[in-house]
Chains A and B, each alone.
Chain A
C-alpha cells in the first residue's frame, strides 16, 4: 500500500475533523522540544500521533530512576543513557511517517551560543526553562517568526503559554463584522475623537464616553 493510502486510512478519524488542509498544516510542522520533561514528552506524543513532519528533542541529561517512574516513555534498562536519545527512539515508534532527531546538548547553551540552530523549526516547545533563558529564546523566535510555547509543570500544577508572532487574519465571511479599524481609523472617526478633551471632563462625563 502506498504511503498516501495508508496515511488516509490511519488518519481517517482526524481527517473528518480538520480535513486535508488541517492535515497539511500538521505535516509541514517542524517541532523542537527543549528539555525532555514528562509534559514535553506527552506533548510530542500528541503531535506525533496525528502526523507532524519532524521533531527534535534537545536535552543533555541522562535518564535517572525517578525519570523512569514519571515518564511513560522510559524504561528501567535505560537508566544512565541519554534522555533525549531514549525518548526519541520510543516516540519514533508511534508514527512511521514522522522524522525524528535528537541533540544531546543543553538548550541554554544553544540559546546563548548557537541561535541559528532554531531557524529550522516553526514551533519550539520550551519545557521547564528559566525566565531569563525564555526571554532570550523569545527574542530569537520573534526575529525568526517561530511560534514559542513555554511549558512548566510541578506536581499537580502546570502553566502553558504560547507566544505567536503577530499575523494577519482575513475574515473571508464578513457577514457580521463590525470593524472600526481602531488601529487605523478612518478620517471621520479620528476627527470625532479629537473633539474631546479628556483632561477637562468630570469623572461622570468621562465614564460615559463611548
Chain B
C-alpha cells in the first residue's frame, strides 16, 4: 500500500496522472492559502508554486496553521512551503516572497501553469490576476472568505464570466462635508482622525492636497474653506518638537475649526451643535494625572474594551502626538521626504487615531467606541476562522479535479451560507461572459518580433489588417495603436508608421492596446511583446485569432437593477483600501461619440 493508493482508488489512474503532472499556481498563502496548500499536497498535486508578499503576524495563528510562533515576522510563502514539505516531502514547491504585480510574473510565466488558484484578500490583486489569466488563457479558480461566509468560482476566458464582468461593490466613501463638517456617526470621526488629521500631520504631503469631491455650486465655498483649514494645520508644523505644539494643534482642530463651523448657522438648524474644547479646558484635563502607558499585566485587554473619559482621551492625544512627532523629526533628519502611513498594528498610531476620533465624537455628541471596535473599523479588519477557509479550500480542489478532467462546465459558483434555514451550500450556474465587459471582451495575443527590425507598419499591415486566412487578424475599420497612454498610430496620425518598435520604445514585456472601430462593433486587442533578436522581419503571433471578441456599445438607457436570482454577497476578505480615493480614466475611443469609461481604484 503506497501513499497514493487511496487517491488512485478515488480518482482513477488517468485523472491521478493528470493531477500529478499538472502545474499549479497559488496566489496568496494566508487563510485560504494554508488550507489550500495542505489540500494540494495531499491531493496528488506535485508541482506547486506559491506567492505572497506578506509576513507572518501573531493574529494569523488562529487559522493559518502552517505558521507557528517562532515564524512571526518571516515570509508567509517561504514558511508555508517549508511546513508543507515536512508533511509531504514528495512535492515540488517553489515559494516567491514578492508582489504578484511585479513585472517578472509576466504572461509567459502565467502560461506555464495549468491552473491558477487565488487565495487573496484584496480586489486589486484579484483584478490583476484575472487580467493575466485571461491574457494567458489559463483557467482561474477565484475564491474568498469572510467570517462564516465564503464562495468559490471558476473563470475561463470565453467560457465563463470573468472577475470584472459584474461590477463589484466599491468600498464605501463619505462626502467630504460629512467627514470635515457634519459627522453624525462614529465612523465619520474615525475616518476624520485617520484620513484627515493623522494624514495631514504625518502623512505624505502630495496625497493630502487633493480633495476628490466633485465641486458643485453649493459646496464650492465650503471646499475652499476646508482647503484653508488644512493649510493652516500644515503651517503649525513649524512648532513641531516644541512643548506648545500639542496645545496649538488641539486648539486648531478641536476649538478654532469647530467655532468656524458653528458660525454656519444653516448647518445646525436640525443638527445638534458641536461643543468646542477651549485651551482652558484642555489644560485642565491635562492636570489630571494619568498613567497612559499601559504595558502592564492584563490591563491591555481591558484598555481595548474600555470607554475612556474625555480627559483621558485628551491626555492620550498629547502623549501620542508627542511620540509621533519625535518619530517624524527623527525620520526627517535622515530623509526629508519621511512620512508615516496608518498602521493598525502600530500601538501609538492606533491610540492616537482612537483618542482623536473619540474627542471629535464627544464634541459632536456622537457615541464613543472602544479601541477594539475602532481598530476594526480603521483597520478594515475582517473576521476570519479556520473552518470557512478549510471548506472553501476543499471546494477549490474539487473544481481543480473537474478542470483537469475536462469537465469545467460542470463546475458551479458555490456560496457557503450561514442561515440556519437554508442549505449550507448554494450553487449557481457559471454565467457566460458579459458581452459588455471591458476586461474579458478583449482579445489577447503574444507577438514575438525583433524590436530593432519590426516596424509599426509591419504590425499594421502584416498582422492587424492581413486577412485571417493569411496569418493575420483581419481587422476592418479604424485602427488605433496605443502603448500605455501614448497613441502611436491612428487614422489621423501616421507619422511613426515606419519607425521600428525599438525607436518608439516598445520593448520586451510591453503591451500594445489596439482598438478597431468597425461600425457598431469595437474590437479591443491587447498584444504582449516579446523581443527575439534572432528574427529578421518575421513574427510569431500566438493567440486565438478565429474569434476576436468585440465589445458592444453601451446600452442606450440605464439598465434596470438586476434582483432576481439573489446574487449573494461576495466575501472578499477585502481590506478595501487605506489609500486616497483616486480616479483613473481609460479612453475607449469610438468614432462618433467619445465614450469614456471610468475605472475607480
A: which residues have CB within 8 A of B? 2, 4-6, 8-14, 16-17, 42, 45-46, 49-51, 64-66, 68-73, 75, 93-94, 96, 155-156
Contacts and interface: CB of A to CB of B under 8 A. Distances in A.
5 contacts: A13-B59, A13-B381, A14-B384, A46-B386, A49-B65
B541 interface: no
Contact of B1 (A46, A51, A64, A93): A64
B537 interface: no
B381 A5 contact: no
Contacts of A46: 386-387, 390
Given A64-B1, A69-B3, A69-B5, A50 B62 contact: yes
A117 B384 CA distance: 35
A66 B6 contact: yes
Given A14-B385, A72-B87, A93-B68, A49 B6 contact: no
A23 to B, nearest CB: 10
A152 B3 CA distance: 21
A56 B433 CA distance: 51
A49 B298 CA distance: 23
Contacts of A13: 59, 62-63, 381-385
A4 B3 contact: no
A49 B5 contact: no
Given A14-B385, A50-B386, A8 B65 contact: no
B509 interface: no
A178 B327 CA distance: 61
Given A5-B301, A65-B3, A70-B42, A17 B147 contact: yes
A108 to B, nearest CB: 23
Contact of B58 (A4, A10, A70): A10
Contact of A4 (B7, B86, B301): B301
B376 A10 contact: no
B386 A70 contact: no
B42 A9 contact: no
Contact of A66 (B5, B62, B69): B5
B548 interface: no
B584 interface: no
A27 to B, nearest CB: 13
Contacts of A17: 147-148, 383-385
Interface in B3-45: 3-7, 9-10, 38, 41-42
A72 B147 CA distance: 25
> Which of B9, B61, B148: most chain A Cβ within 10 A?
B61
Contacts of A14: 62-63, 383-385
B36 to A, nearest CB: 12
Contacts of B65: 45, 49, 94
B3 A66 contact: yes
A177 to B, nearest CB: 15
B390 A68 contact: no
Contacts of A5: 298, 300-301
Given A13-B384, A66-B2, 6 more contacts: A14-B385, A16-B376, A46-B386, A50-B385, A66-B5, A155-B10
A16 B390 contact: no
> Which of A10, A11, A69, A93: most chain B Cβ within 10 A?
A69
A5 to B, nearest CB: 5
A71 B68 CA distance: 20
A12 B42 contact: no
B538 to A, nearest CB: 50
B320 to A, nearest CB: 20
Given A66-B1, A70-B6, A70-B7, A49 B386 contact: yes
B297 interface: yes
A12 B87 contact: no
Contacts of B62: 10-14, 49-51
A35 to B, nearest CB: 16
Interface in B387-443: 387, 390
A11 B304 CA distance: 14
Interface string B364-392: 00000000000010000111111100100
Interface string B52-93: 000000110111010011000000000000000011100000
Contacts of A10: 58-59, 61-62
Contacts of A6: 58
B4 A69 contact: yes
A9 B375 CA distance: 13
Contacts of B10: 155-156
Interface in B342-384: 376, 381-384
A78 to B, nearest CB: 11
Contacts of B9: 155
A8 to B, nearest CB: 5
A73 B6 CA distance: 16
Contacts of A42: 390
Contacts of B88: 72
A51 B62 CA distance: 8
B82 to A, nearest CB: 14
Across the A-B interface, give the 9 residue pairs with the lowest CB-CB distance, nearest first: A69-B3, A17-B383, A16-B383, A155-B10, A66-B1, A13-B384, A49-B386, A12-B59, A46-B386
B263 to A, nearest CB: 41
A2 B383 contact: no
B385 A75 contact: no
Given A10-B58, A64-B1, A75 B300 contact: no
B298 A2 contact: yes
Contacts of A155: 9-10
A75 B381 contact: no
Contacts of A9: 58-59
Contacts of A65: 1-3, 5
Nearest to A8: B301
B334 to A, nearest CB: 31
Interface in B248-293: none
A68 B58 CA distance: 30
Contacts of A75: 86-87
B550 to A, nearest CB: 41
A143 to B, nearest CB: 28
Nearest to B389: A46
A155 B1 CA distance: 16
A68 B38 contact: no
A184 to B, nearest CB: 24
A65 B38 CA distance: 18
A7 to B, nearest CB: 9
Nearest to A3: B298
Contacts of B69: 96
B381 A68 contact: no
A94 B87 CA distance: 14
Contacts of A71: 42
Contacts of A51: 62
A25 to B, nearest CB: 14
Contacts of B387: 46
Contacts of B382: 13
A72 B63 CA distance: 16
B384 to A, nearest CB: 4
